Every structure is written in C-alpha cells, then in structure tokens.
C-alpha cells in the first residue's frame, strides 16, 4: 500500500531524515516509534506532501508520489490525524464530520457514531467545547469520513487520560478487525503491542529496526537503546 525508501528531508539547512524506510501492506497495522525529535512527525509530513523531501521515494499503491501536493496524497488514499489534533472549532461535531465526508468512503455518520457513541451524544456541540479525548475521537472520525486506504495517526493518545487512551486503542482494534490499514505513532508500547503487527524504530532520521511486538519485547536492549525505556 505504502512504501517509503531512502527518504531524506529536513527544514532549511537542517536535515532530519537521512534514510527513512517504511513499508505497509494492505490490512496491516504498523507503528513508527522512537524517542522525541528522531523524525517521526517529519516522516509523516514528508509522506503527506506537507514537506518536500530532497531524495528517496514515497510509493502509494506502486505509484511514485514524492513531492506531490497534500491534496493529491489525500486523493491517493492517505488520511492523517495530525499531532496536536485540530478540529474546526466553530463547527459542531456533526458538521466537522460532514465537512470531510467523501461519497466514496466506507464510513458514514452512523458508523462513526457506532465507533464513538460519545460523538453522537455531543453531535450538536461546538467542537471547541469538547474535551481532549472527545476531540481526538472527532479527528479520527473526520479522517475516516474521507475514506482513507491508509489511516495515519501521529501521537494517537498523547496527553489523554488513561480511560480515553483505552477508547482510542479499542477503536484501533475494531478498525483492524474491519480490515483497515493503519500507521500509528505513539509512546505506549504496551497498549500498542495489542494492535500492531510490526514496529518500525526510527533513530536520527533512519529506520534502524523493524519487527513484531513479540520480538521487541524479547530484546530489552533494543528498547533501552532506541526508545529509552
């Protein structure tokens, strides 16, 4: 579905990605993990066309998309829940969801409300009055409404209360069972192990390891070296 290879990118003179690799097959749930500032968000921005990579390749369903406009990347099937969640604050929950609805999407309001009953209860409320957890549910719902072939979540549960984190992980488990393809960035390895098929570790702009949660759990030296845990 998505294949990133040899990706280089940065901001002005400061290079952040040196040799990023990432491969996601249809129906897989994979993670991108690594310590703060290692280039996870930069990788996502480069994939989504929000940042122009200087070299490498971003293939979506076999087609080279590196350097294409974000609009074209979205059209090619990628949906992003960005770091630091942003809903359209002056729209209601329902309006937010309908704003990004695509006719081709497998997702509609009914299915989103099944996934997040809380959003249905709050559907008339302005999104800026939602709690942090509800806002995260809303931006996930909004991304699904675009009908993505690959859903990318950058810091899926950062800053959320444990019970809300649980809601987000349960949602990802449901999405996986329904065959969705997901790339998730998060810092909670334990919760992630329940849902991801493979982890990718990034260190200073390079993919340095790839393997299953079981393999990672069996190598404490890896977690210590690259994740600081």
Ligand X SMILES: Nc1ncnc2c1ncn2[C@@H]1O[C@H](COP(=O)(O)OP(=O)(O)OP(=O)(O)O)[C@@H](O)[C@H]1O
Which residues make up the interface to Mg ion (CB under 5 A)? 40-41, 83
Candidates 31, 41, 127, 207; binder of ligand X (CB under 6 A) is: 41
85 binds, among ligand X, Mg ion, none (CB under 5 to 8 A by kind): none
Can you say whether the dihedral through the CA atoms of 179, 88, 97, 160 is positive or negative? positive
Among 4, 7, 38, 119, binds ligand X (CB under 6 A): 38
Alpha carbon of residue 75 to chain centroid? 16
**Local structure of residue 125 (DSSP, 8 states):** S
CA 85 to chain centre: 11
Residue placing its CB nearer to ligand X in the complex, 42 or 96:
42
Q: Which does 6 bind (CB under 5 to 8 A by kind): Mg ion, ligand X, none?
A: none
Q: Where are the alpha helices (DSSP H) in the chain?
A: 40-48, 70-75, 93-99, 109-115, 117-121, 132-145, 162-177, 189-195, 213-217, 220-222
Query: Binds 39, which of ligand X, Mg ion, none (CB < 5 to 8 A, cut-off by type)?
Result: ligand X
Q: Does 36 bind ligand X (CB under 6 A)?
A: yes
In 3D space, the residue among 58, 4, 59 whose CA is nearest the CA of residue 32 turns out to be: 4
Segment lying near ligand X (by CB under 6 A), choices 33-41, 145-153, 172-180, 207-215: 33-41
The entry of Mg ion, ligand X, none near residue 16 (CB within 5 to 8 angstroms by kind) is ligand X
84 near ligand X (CB under 6 A): no
Total chain residues near ligand X (CB under 6 A): 12
* 207: contact with ligand X by CB under 6 A: no
45 in Cβ contact with 78 (< 8 Å): no
Min dist CB 43 to ligand X, Å, is 7
The residue assigned the tokens 């040899």 is: 6
- Contact status: 153 vs ligand X (CB under 6 A): no
* Cα distance between residue 181 and residue 111, in whole Å: 17
Q: State yes or no: residue 27 binds ligand X (CB under 6 A).
A: no
Distance CA 49, CA 69 (A): 5
Q: Is 16 in the site for ligand X (CB under 6 A)?
A: yes
Helix (H, G, I), strand (E, B) or coil at 208: strand
- Residue numbers of the site for ligand X (CB under 6 A)? 11, 14, 16, 34, 36-42, 83
């Amino acid at each position: 579905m998505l294949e990133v290879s040899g990706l280089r990118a940065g901001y002005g003179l400061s290079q952040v990605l040196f040799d990023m690799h990432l491969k996601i097959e249809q129906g897989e749930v994979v993670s991108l993990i690594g310590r703060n500032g290692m280039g996870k968000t930069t990788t996502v921005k480069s994939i989504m066309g929000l940042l122009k990579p200087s070299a490498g390749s971003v293939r979506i369903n076999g087609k080279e998309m590196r350097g294409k406009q974000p609009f074209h990347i979205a059209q090619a099937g990628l949906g992003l829940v960005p770091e630091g969640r942003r809903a359209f604050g002056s729209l209601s929950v329902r309006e937010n969801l309908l704003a990004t609805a695509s006719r081709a999407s497998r997702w509609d309001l009914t299915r989103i409300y099944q996934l997040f009953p809380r959003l249905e209860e709050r559907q008339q409320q302005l999104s800026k009055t939602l709690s942090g957890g509800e806002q995260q549910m809303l931006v996930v719902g909004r991304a699904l409404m675009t009908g993505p072939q690959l859903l990318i979540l950058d810091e899926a549960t950062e800053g959320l209360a444990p019970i809300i984190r649980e809601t987000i992980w349960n949602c990802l488990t449901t999405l996986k069972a329904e065959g969705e393809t997901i790339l998730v960035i998060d810092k909670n390895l334990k919760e992630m192990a329940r849902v991801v098929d493979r982890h990718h570790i990034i260190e200073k702009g390079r993919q340095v390891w790839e393997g299953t949660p079981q393999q990672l759990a069996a190598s404490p030296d890896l977690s210590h070296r690259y994740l600081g845990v």
